[in-house]
């Protein structure tokens, strides 16, 4: 059973890799299967990890204490009214509640969890106590943050001093993007190593092993 599974997995792996050469029926097969299997996978996950523990179990064990969970169930079901021609705009209510809630959550989260701490860590001591290099670093940090912020000014024309500063902001952005790109290459290469290693050690060597045992 295990070796069969490894063969299936390896076949599908090769199907996907074949796309690098060009689009072909094997890739299309794997792509379609992947779309189906993954959707099925999340149906299973949602049923077992969300609907069951968060809705069914609480209702089953203590209906009186959890009857209100029927409200979100109703809001959820309301999404399907789109298929009823006469009521096809009811679904808006569900979307409105969902979006409204998270828009509110995000608003305070962004202001409190991002703006304040990022501001605070930009306020750094401009003294020589950390050595000349420390001072330079702190200056770079402040200059970088402020010039990038200027770049994002929409209601000012980017001319003159503003234009110059925003240009510096773009340079900071490009430097950051370049560094981040180079930095990420490493993690991505290890993913490929992982896949090729699977093909070589699990599939090729595993099959040779199994054949050896058979003989």
Partner 1 sequence: MEWLNRLMALDRRWIFLLVAIGTALPIIFPIGFKVSVTPPAKALFDRIEQMGPDDVVLLSFDYGPSTAPENDPMADAVLRHCFSKRVKVVLLSLFPIGGVTMADQSLARVLRDFPDIRRGIDYAHLGYKSGSQATMKQMGEDIHRVFPTDRYGMALSEVPLLQRVRTYDDMKLVVSFATGIIGEWWANLINAQFHIPVAVGCTAVSAPKYYAYLQSGQMVGLLGGLKGASEYERLVIDRYPIVEAAYTRAGLYTAIKGMDAQTIIHTLILLFIIMANVAFFAGRGRAAQAKR
Partner 2 sequence: MRFLRLQLPLLLTALAGLIPISAFFISENATRVVWMKDRLEKYMIIIASFAILLGVVNVVQSNIRKIERRQKGWPYGAFLLAGLLGMAFCGIMGAARIGPFQGIGYTPDGGRTPFQYGAEFMFSPLQATMFSLLAFFMASAAFRAFRARNVEATILLVAAGLVMLGRIPFGEMILGGHPFLARLTDWMMDWPNAAAQRGIMIGAALGAASLSLRVIVGIERSFLGVEKSE
Partner 3 sequence: METMGFLGPARGGRRDQARAAPVPSDRDVAGLTLKTAEAMQMETMGFLNPDRLNALVLFLFFCTLVLVFISLARRGGRLYIRKIAGLNAIDEAVGRATELGKKVLYPPGIMSLDENQTIASLAVLGHVARMTARYNTELDVPNKDPLTFAAARETVKEAYMAEGRPDLYNDRLVHYVTYDQFAYTASVTGIMVREKPAANFLIGSFYAESLLLAEMGQSTGAIQIAGTAEIAQLPFFVCSCDYTLIGEELYAAGAYLSREPAQLGSIKGQDITKAAVGVYIITATILLLLGSGFLRRLLTIE
Q: Which CB, 2 or 215, lies closer to partner 2?
A: 2
Min dist. Cβ of residue 22 to partner 1 (A): 8
Among partner 1, partner 3, partner 2, none, what binds residue 97 when CB lies within 5 to 8 Å by partner kind? partner 2
Could you give the string, one character per residue 102-131, with x where binding to partner 2 holds by CB under 8 A and - elsewhere? xxxxxxx-xxx-xx--xx-xx---------
**Contact between residue 64 and residue 86 where contact means Cβ atoms under 8 Å apart:** no
Distances (CA, A) of 49 to 19, 76, 103, 122, 129: 34, 17, 25, 41, 53
Residues in the chain: 215
- Rounded CA gap, 98 and 121, in Å? 33
Part of the chain binding partner 2 (CB under 8 A), chosen from 29-37, 157-165, 206-214: 29-37
* Site membership for partner 3, residue 173 (CB under 8 A): yes
Min dist. Cβ of residue 16 to partner 1 (A): 13
**Contact between residue 78 and residue 90 where contact means Cβ atoms under 8 Å apart:** yes
Q: Which CB, 187 or 212, lies closer to partner 2?
A: 187
What residues from 104 to 143 belong to the interface with partner 1 (CB under 8 A)? none
- Rounded CA gap, 179 and 190, in Å? 18
């Amino acid at each position: 059973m295990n070796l069969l599974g490894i063969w299936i997995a390896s076949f599908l792996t090769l199907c996907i890799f074949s796309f690098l050469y060009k689009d072909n029926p094997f890739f299309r097969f794997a792509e379609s299967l992947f779309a189906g299997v993954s959707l099925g996978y999340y149906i299973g996950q949602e049923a077992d990890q969300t609907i069951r523990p968060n809705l069914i179990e609480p209702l089953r064990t203590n209906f009186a204490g959890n009857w209100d969970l029927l409200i979100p169930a109703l809001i959820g079901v309301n999404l399907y009214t789109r298929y009823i021609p006469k009521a096809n705009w009811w679904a808006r209510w569900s979307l409105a509640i969902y979006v409204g809630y998270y828009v509110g959550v995000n608003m305070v989260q962004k202001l409190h969890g991002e703006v304040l701490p990022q501001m605070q860590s930009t306020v750094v001591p401009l003294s020589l106590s950390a050595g000349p290099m420390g001072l330079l670093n702190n200056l770079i940090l402040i200059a970088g943050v402020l010039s990038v912020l200027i770049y994002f000014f929409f209601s000012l024309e980017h001319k003159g001093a503003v234009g110059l500063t925003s240009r510096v902001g773009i340079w900071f952005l490009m430097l950051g993007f370049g560094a981040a790109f180079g930095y990420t290459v490493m993690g991505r290469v290890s993913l490929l190593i992982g896949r090729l290693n699977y093909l070589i050690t699990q599939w090729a060597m595993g099959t040779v092993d199994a054949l050896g045992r058979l003989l």
